[in-house]
């Protein structure tokens, strides 16, 4: 199947619309009440729904346990992010531990 340029343009329209919506002067809408309360859980929920399957599921199977570099390095990254708020340090140590785990487990 060849991908249509329309797919890309429509995706771009959607992402731009979500970013621009509240910058318009046309709507005199201030976010209050339940909607605002609900929206504050959007980012953690959607981001978590993306990282959890990467760490725990491989080729449709649940992680094999502590011999899985994804799970091991995932644990290291979570611990790091609790300890320090330096994003680059967290990501760097996380990726480093992933590479190391793959090498040590003979999967790299």
Partner 1 sequence: MSDTSTSDEQTFYSSYPDSDIRLVFQAVIDILPLALAVVPWGVLCGSLAIEAGLTPLQAQCMSLLVFAGAVQLASLSIIGAGGPLSSILTSSAVISSRHLLYSAVLREDIKPLSLAWRCLLAFFLTDEMFAITVAFKARYNIFSPLYSLAVGFMFYLVWNLATLAGILAGKLLPSLQEYGLEFAIAATFIAIVIPGVRSWSVLGAVLASGLTALICEWFKVSQGLIIATVVGMACGFLLSFREEKV
**Residues 22-81 interacting with partner 1 (rule: CB under 8 A):** 22-25, 30-31, 34, 36-57, 60, 62, 69-70, 73-74, 77-78, 80-81
Shortest distance (Å) from residue 67 CB to partner 1: 15
Residue-wise over 12-36: b if at least 16 C-beta within 10 A, else e?
eeeeeeeeeeeeeeeeeeeeeeeee
CA dist., res. 84 & res. 72, Å (int): 18
Length of the chain, please?
A: 108
CB of 65 to partner 1, least distance (A): 15
59, 65, 87, 106: which one binds partner 1 (CB under 8 A): 87
The only residue of 66, 91, 103, 105 in contact with partner 1, by rule CB under 8 A: 91
């Amino acid at each position: 199947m060849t991908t249509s340029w329309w797919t890309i343009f429509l995706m771009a329209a959607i992402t731009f619309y979500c970013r621009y919506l509240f910058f318009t002067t046309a709507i005199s809408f201030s976010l209050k009440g339940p909607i605002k309360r609900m929206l504050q859980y959007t980012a953690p929920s959607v981001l978590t729904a993306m990282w959890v399957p990467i760490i725990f599921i491989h080729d449709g199977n649940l992680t094999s346990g502590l011999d899985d570099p994804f799970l091991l390095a995932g644990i290291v990254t979570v611990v790091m992010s609790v300890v320090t708020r330096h994003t680059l340090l967290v990501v760097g140590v996380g990726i480093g531990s992933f590479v190391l785990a793959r090498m040590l487990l003979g999967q790299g």
